[in-house]
Amino acid sequence: MATRGARPLDAGGAAQHEGFLRYRGYRWLKLALAISLAAILIYAFHDARSRPNGGSWYGYTLGTIGAGLILWLTLLGVRKRAMTRGRWSLKAWTSAHVYLGLSLVVIGTLHTGFQFGWNVHTLAYALMMIVIISGIYGIAVYSTLPRVLSANRGETTQAQMLDNLRQLDRQLHEAAQPLGQRHAEIVRMSLDDDPFGGGLIARLTGRYPKCGTRAAQEAIRIETGPRPAIGDDALERIDVLLERKEAALARIRQHLKLKALLEIWLYVHVPLTFALIAALFAHIFSVFFYW
Amino acid sequence: MADAYRIAIIGSGPAGLSAAARAAALGISHILLEKTDHLSDTIFKYQKGKHVMATPSQLVLRSDMDFDAGKREAVLGAWDRQAAEQGVNVRLNAEVKAIAGGKGDFSLTLGGGEVIRAEAVILAIGTQGNPNLLRIPGGDLPHVQYQLDDPGAYVDEHITVIGAGDAGIENAVGLAQDPAQRNHVTILNRSADFSRAKDANVKGLFAMRDGGRLAVMTDTTPSKVEPGWLTLDTRDGEARIRCDRIIARMGSAPPRKFIESCGVEFTSEDREAFPRLTATFESVSAPGIYVIGALAGYPLIKHCMNQGYDVVEIINGNSSLKPADEPILEAKFKRLPRRRTVDQWLEYLRANVEILNDLSPLQMREFMLDSEVRAYRIGETVFEKDDPGSSLFGIASGSVDVAGRVRIGRGSIFGEVGLISGRRRGATIRAAEDSILVEVSRTAALKLMASNPAARRVVTRISTERQLLQMFGSGLTPEDLAEVTATARVESVSAGKAIITEGEDGCDIFVIRVGSMVVEKSIGGKPVFLSYLPAGSYVGEMAVIDGAPRTATVRAAIKSEVIRLDGAAFRRLLDRKPDLLEKAKRDMAQRQDLNAFVEARKDSFSSVVDMYSSVANFLVEQGVGEATDVLLIDENLCVGCDNCEKACADSHDGLSRLDREAGRTFAHLHVPTSCRHCEHPHCMADCPPNAIHRGPDGEVFINDTCIGCGNCQRNCPYGVIRMDKVPPKKPGLLSWFLFGKGPGPGEPSHEWSATHADPAIEKPKKAIKCDMCSGIEGGPACVRACPTGAAIRVAPEAFLTVARLDRGEG
């Protein structure tokens, strides 16, 4: 069928849809590889006196490039938050941040000349490596977890999940009204429980061994197990509600776990970056004044 | 021996009653003939307790009868009393069957055979006795009624009111007023706006809807009536609702047969046309018969009463009488060059502007009350490109020049694009010579088109012609296209209906005027989504060029309007214009490649094509079909950092216009709650200050004149408009980072806004929606601020094409 839009098709439209890793045909990956390769080659042919170290001209060059890169990479945090006008894209920044950050492994290591010790210089190097390793973890989760997060939440938002949970709690509360003291205590195990308690480990693993809802359901099952279900049983209703609450909990806990996994590394990456910058300045200061 | 009178007045509504009262006051021998057993049947038939309005408020009442807004019973009571007091000679139960004779000696034959003679006849019978009928299958069933006497008489029913004019709205509101009646009331409006009804009525209706008391369905027409059920044709396809009673209030038309038998001619053959009258209400074809009130084209009570007064004065020989609205119109014409009287000006404008040709002098008066007329010197700018504005201009004299390229001459119109889409002005218009232009406000233009079929046809014809010229390129002239435009028919297509079916013969061409279409090809029995066609595209010329059967199916994504052009006429145009043929062939080759590509891949690639088709269909269901620019999130990449929302808030006064997490998802493609910038924005339909416009980049935005009424929020089917106050200014990023001042990037919490707001300034809540970051260099902040590239903004025609499969995307 011959058709023609009144507006011309946007030829660049499709190219916009690529992730930060594939940005512009891996432009920054290629650049980072080129830089790293060049650094290694020069290092191989560079004839430093006594042995390769940060004090040679090449060492200074690498050090300057490395320090500059570290400061520039830190600026991603500013770029992300300062919504200024202009033709910039955070995706391009992230792409460059990732690949140039990885090239620091080569630049930084060559800058050391493989001399390590228990001093502020090696501290800066160690901090840098930890920051980079946490970043690699970040790349890994960013490229694998989003689809899991999306599949788990379906079309519900986090607020809706929490709402759903509150609603189930209200229903449980209503359904528990006709129950006796002993059974009411069982329902209370679920109602009084903090479903997200259990600290960081529970949040990151999604396992909540002391979950009050599960305990309550087990207790109810023991009560209802031997009896035939005759339809109009308050305990059966509680059982169904607890079942639903547990399903809802599983989903939201999975959601929170994935979100935590997507965020946790930033709690290492960002503070250690500041520590790194402090160590870096100490390193530069000490080199120039006490070497 | 027949009774003889100077004036016989037929119909005792506001117009006839006022005329009779004037005649009585002047001591003229008269008779007021009323078909029923009470005065003013139309108002008598209003539902009990109805509030009768007195609009237009700027008009002064000039009548011997009193009238003010009030309850139906109070109004009728006052008239009955005054008619008796003033000695009006009324004959009830007197239906006039025929009028014979001429000026000075008419004989009126009554129902019983009695004959009354009169020198002059005033026809004031209105149109309510002749309602427009429901012409659909089942429209003649007994539960379909055309009037509602007492809304309190129905309980526990599913009632559908058809027609959203004043009568329909009042009936619907009356039926739903008392919750104890437990009626489920639905009101249907065939368009999206409520231009036929009074503003106060529309507001009342919306208030009821927001209270959950009744349902309002716009863009909906009934298609089939069955006992207990009603089938509807809605914007999104067919729907079937419970319905025990239908109240059809779709307007009324003059009882034409009777009126024409009296010798009174109409302006045109249209069912809704009015009698041809002089400025003194006298029939042009039957002198001595005067037509006033709704039958003359003006249904408002105040106008009717004034006309009743005026017509008797005129018959009595008062030639210096000026209509009551004369001072208002005089002021409008005062600044024009050349001295003319108001009547001369009205006639001048009517005769010279094509869309006004069919209006009666009385309708012209009413029309001019809502419009402006101005004189422009040669070279003077009427409006600039990108000016906001949605009014329509008619050229009464002179001509104008469009962006220095095209000249539009006397009689024609311009500005119709703004009227139809609400877009900003597309070009600068200057007066090419000294000109007189009529500026018609959007509401007045919609009213004109709704009530005057001839005006609607002219606007449609001109906009069709201009659309064709724009699409087919600059080498063509309107004369080249004349043969093709003459065959143009505007057709409405409901959602999901096909205009072209694969494999069929036929060579008509379709231009999509409103809405959008999807192109599908059946492969292995399954429809595969080929492409998406927005409004302004044309489709179907392939069959014209190669004469082969249709190669794909084209169906409406949403309720649409197409212009059907005759294929044979188009073929002749192509034969005459080799350039156009060349161009059409190039476009065709592109599409043939696409077809061949799909055919070639159908075996090896079927699952991918399948997936693509279902994703495309999902997006069309999500309203992407009527979008011009939509934010999509690829959930393979989205890490949920909400930086898009924060960036949005920080770019726009601290309020985010998108909700990333909410919205539908399919195959990891997420459509967040964010404006789609619809082709025909639902939000624009009912904005009292007319604050919603379309910008130069296609963005739909709300300007500062927003009054915070919330209509747009309610009208938006995608829930993307929020009502909120602008929060106070935040401290800068650095002071947040270093000293922890302020709430940080993104939208501040309500608590922070509340505690930091200046208590001296009361900020109103206003409507907030995406403006596509218009005016911000770099484009939409949400996309720029996405760290992983998950957020993309696309025009559907670029995104929804199977060609993307070639690149392994989609």
To test the contact with chain A by mutation, choose from B637, B660, B673, B679 the residue with the greatest count of A C-beta atoms within 10 A, namely: B637
Contact B12, B39 (CB under 8 A): yes
Alpha helix stretches (DSSP H) within A156-233: 158-175, 181-191, 199-205, 212-224
Q: State which amino acid sits at residue B745.
A: P
Decide if pLDDT at A35 tops 80.
Answer: yes
Rounded CA separation B463/B452 (Å)? 17
Rounded CA separation B147/B77 (Å)? 22
Percent of chain A with pLDDT over 70: 92
Give the containing element (helix H, strand E) for B402. Answer: strand B400-402
Between CA B625 and CA B633, with CA B629 as vertex, the angle to 5 degrees is 90
Decide if pLDDT at B194 tops 90.
Answer: no
Cβ distance B792 to A17 less than 8 Å, yes or no, reads yes
Closest CA to A195 of A222, A214, A218, A173: A214
Closest-approach residue (CA) in chain A for B590? A2
Rounded CA separation B293/A74 (Å)? 78
Helix (H, G, I), strand (E, B) or coil at B261: helix
Which of B64-68, B292-296, B463-467, B571-575 shows the lowest per-residue confidence on average (mean pLDDT)?
Answer: B463-467
Cβ distance B635 to A1 less than 8 Å, yes or no, reads no
Cβ distance B797 to A7 less than 8 Å, yes or no, reads yes
Predicted pLDDT at B696: 67
For residue B481, the distance in angstroms to the closest alpha carbon of chain A comes to: 18
Rounded CA separation B525/B606 (Å)? 12
Which pLDDT band holds residue B797 (cuts at 50, 70, 90)?
low
A208 near B CB under 8 A? no
- Residue count of chain B, please give it: 810
Where does residue B524 rank: exposed (0-12), middle (13-18), buried (19+ CB within 10 A)? exposed
List, for residues B140-164, the tens digit of each pLDDT value: 888 888 888 788 888 888 999 998 8
Rounded CA separation B796/A79 (Å)? 30
Q: Where are the domains of chain B?
A: 3-129+253-315, 144-248, 326-456, 481-603, 615-807
List, for residues B729-754, the tens digit of each pLDDT value: 888 888 888 888 888 888 888 888 88
Q: Which residue has the tokens 């009777």?
A: B258
pTM over 0.90: no
Cβ distance A150 to B794 less than 8 Å, yes or no, reads no
Decide if pLDDT at A10 tops 50.
Answer: no
Give the containing element (helix H, strand E) for A105. Answer: helix A90-112
What is the 8-class DSSP label of residue A59?
H
- Measured from the Cβ of residue A24, the count of other Cβ atoms closer than 10 Å reads 13
Cβ distance A13 to B588 less than 8 Å, yes or no, reads no
Q: Which residue has the tokens 């946007």?
A: A10
* CA distances for B103 relative to A155, A234, B6, B107, B283, angstroms: 76, 90, 11, 10, 11
Partner residue opposite A13 with nearest CB, options B744, B789, B798 = B798
A89 near B CB under 8 A? yes
Which pLDDT band holds residue B388 (cuts at 50, 70, 90)?
low
Contact B51, B70 (CB under 8 A): yes
Predicted pLDDT at A39: 94
Which pLDDT band holds residue B22 (cuts at 50, 70, 90)?
very high
Which pLDDT band holds residue A134 (cuts at 50, 70, 90)?
very high
Which pLDDT band holds residue B3 (cuts at 50, 70, 90)?
confident
Which of A243-257, B115-129, B583-597, B718-732 shows the lowest per-residue confidence on average (mean pLDDT)?
Answer: B583-597
Which of A197-201, A235-239, B346-350, B619-623 shows the lowest per-residue confidence on average (mean pLDDT)?
Answer: B619-623
A231 near B CB under 8 A? no
Cβ distance B665 to A155 less than 8 Å, yes or no, reads yes
A25 near B CB under 8 A? no
Decide if pLDDT at B441 tops 70.
Answer: yes
Which pLDDT band holds residue B805 (cuts at 50, 70, 90)?
very low
Which of A35-39, B96-100, B276-280, B806-810 shows the lowest per-residue confidence on average (mean pLDDT)?
Answer: B806-810
Tell me the count of A-B CB pairs closer than 8 A.
Answer: 161
A144 near B CB under 8 A? no
Rounded CA separation B158/B394 (Å)? 45
Cβ distance B519 to A93 less than 8 Å, yes or no, reads no
Rg (CA), chain A: 28
Cβ distance B540 to A1 less than 8 Å, yes or no, reads yes
The number of angstroms, rounded, from the C-alpha of B228 to the middle of its chain's C-alpha atoms is 30
List chain A residues with CB under 8 Å of B799. Answer: 13
| Mutual angle of helices B301-315 and B361-370, in 10-degree steps | 140
Q: Token pair for residue B761?
A: 């300034």
Decide if pLDDT at B421 tops 70.
Answer: no
Closest-approach residue (CA) in chain B for A139? B788
In DSSP notation, A191-210 reads HSS-TT-SHHHHHHH---TT
Predicted pLDDT at B613: 72
CATH of B144-248, one of 1.10.10.60, 3.40.50.11900, 3.50.50.60, 3.30.1330.60: 3.50.50.60
User: Between the CA atoms of B573, B578, B580 and B585, what dihedral angle is there, to the nearest 10 degrees?
Assistant: 110
Predicted pLDDT at A15: 43
For residue B146, give every residue at least 6 positions away whose Cβ sits within 8 Å of its Cβ, in sequence order, or none. B131, B133, B247, B248, B249
To test the contact with chain B by mutation, choose from A76, A79, A80, A83 the residue with the greatest count of B C-beta atoms within 10 A, namely: A83
- Residue count of chain A, please give it: 291
Rounded CA separation B60/B322 (Å)? 13
Mean pLDDT over the full length of chain B: 83
Predicted pLDDT at B541: 80
Predicted pLDDT at A74: 95
Q: Which CATH fold would you assign to the domain B3-129+253-315? A: FAD/NAD(P)-binding domain (3.50.50)
Q: Which CATH fold would you assign to the domain B326-456? A: Jelly Rolls (2.60.120)
The number of angstroms, rounded, from the C-alpha of A132 to the middle of its chain's C-alpha atoms is 14
Q: What is the sign, positive or negative, of the torsion defined by CA atoms of A193, A198, A203, A207?
A: negative
Cβ distance A2 to B519 less than 8 Å, yes or no, reads no
| Residue bearing the bigger pLDDT, B761 or B244 | B244
Closest-approach residue (CA) in chain B for A10? B798
For residue A79, the distance in angstroms to the closest alpha carbon of chain B comes to: 9
Which pLDDT band holds residue A245 (cuts at 50, 70, 90)?
very high
Predicted pLDDT at B610: 67
Predicted pLDDT at B606: 58
For residue A125, the distance in angstroms to the closest alpha carbon of chain B comes to: 26
Where does residue A71 rank: exposed (0-12), middle (13-18), buried (19+ CB within 10 A)? exposed
Percent of chain B with pLDDT over 90: 16
Cβ distance B635 to A20 less than 8 Å, yes or no, reads no
List, for residues B475-509, the tens digit of each pLDDT value: 677 778 888 888 888 888 888 888 998 888 888 88
Partner residue opposite B640 with nearest CB, options A19, A20, A262 = A262
C-alpha atoms less than 13 angstroms from C-alpha of B451 in its C-beta half-sphere? 26
List chain A residues with CB under 8 Å of B668. Answer: 147, 150-151
Predicted pLDDT at A9: 31
Cβ distance A81 to B733 less than 8 Å, yes or no, reads yes
Closest-approach residue (CA) in chain A for B647? A83
A8 near B CB under 8 A? no
Decide if pLDDT at B319 tops 60.
Answer: yes
Closest CA to A287 of A136, A121, A146: A121
Cβ distance A89 to B668 less than 8 Å, yes or no, reads no
Cβ distance B788 to A142 less than 8 Å, yes or no, reads yes
List, for residues A188-218, the tens digit of each pLDDT value: 989 988 888 888 899 999 888 888 899 998 8
Alpha helix stretches (DSSP H) within B665-749: 711-715, 733-739
Closest-approach residue (CA) in chain A for B553? A1
* CA distances for A94 relative to A37, A66, A168, B326, B457, angstroms: 22, 18, 41, 70, 56
Which pLDDT band holds residue B18 (cuts at 50, 70, 90)?
very high
- Listed in order, strand segments (DSSP E) in B434-593 are 435-440, 489-493, 498-500, 509-514, 516-523, 526-534, 538-539, 553-556, 560-565
The number of angstroms, rounded, from the C-alpha of B716 to the middle of its chain's C-alpha atoms is 17
For residue B503, give every residue at least 6 positions away whose Cβ sits within 8 Å of its Cβ, in sequence order, or none. B549, B550
List, for residues A160-190, the tens digit of each pLDDT value: 899 899 999 998 998 888 888 888 898 998 9
Q: Which residues of B94-109 are buried (b: 16+ CB within 10 A; e: fewer)?
A: bebeebebeeeebebb
List chain A residues with CB under 8 Å of B655. Answer: none
List chain B residues with CB under 8 Å of A12. Answer: none
Decide if pLDDT at B603 tops 70.
Answer: no
Q: Residue B579: phi, psi to the nearest 5?
A: -60, -45
For residue B780, the distance in angstroms to the closest alpha carbon of chain A comes to: 10
Which pLDDT band holds residue B810 (cuts at 50, 70, 90)?
very low
Mean pLDDT value across residues B788-804: 71
Contact B451, B296 (CB under 8 A): no
Predicted pLDDT at B428: 87
For residue B599, the distance in angstroms to the closest alpha carbon of chain A comes to: 13
Decide if pLDDT at B528 tops 80.
Answer: no
Q: Where are the domains of chain A?
A: 24-81+88-153+265-290, 158-264
List, for residues A270-286, the tens digit of each pLDDT value: 999 999 999 999 999 99
List chain B residues with CB under 8 Å of A89. Answer: 783-784
Which pLDDT band holds residue A14 (cuts at 50, 70, 90)?
very low
To test the contact with chain A by mutation, choose from B471, B652, B661 the residue with the greatest count of A C-beta atoms within 10 A, namely: B661
Contact A182, A235 (CB under 8 A): no
To test the contact with chain A by mutation, choose from B639, B653, B809 the residue with the greatest count of A C-beta atoms within 10 A, namely: B639
Cβ distance B539 to A1 less than 8 Å, yes or no, reads yes
Do the domains at B144-248 and B481-603 have one common CATH topology? Answer: no
Whether domain B481-603 has CATH 2.60.120.10: yes
Which pLDDT band holds residue B801 (cuts at 50, 70, 90)?
low
A13 near B CB under 8 A? yes
Which pLDDT band holds residue A224 (cuts at 50, 70, 90)?
confident
Cβ distance B640 to A87 less than 8 Å, yes or no, reads no
The number of angstroms, rounded, from the C-alpha of B339 to the middle of its chain's C-alpha atoms is 36
Please report the residues numbered 65 through 84 in chain A whose beta carbons come closer than 8 angstroms to any beta carbon of chain B: 78, 80-83
In DSSP notation, B174-233 reads HHHS-GGG--EEEEE-SSSS-TTS-HHHHHHHHHHHHTTSEEEE-S-EEEEEETEEEEEE
C-alpha atoms less than 13 angstroms from C-alpha of B616 in its C-beta half-sphere? 31
Mean pLDDT value across residues A34-60: 88
Decide if pLDDT at B105 tops 70.
Answer: yes
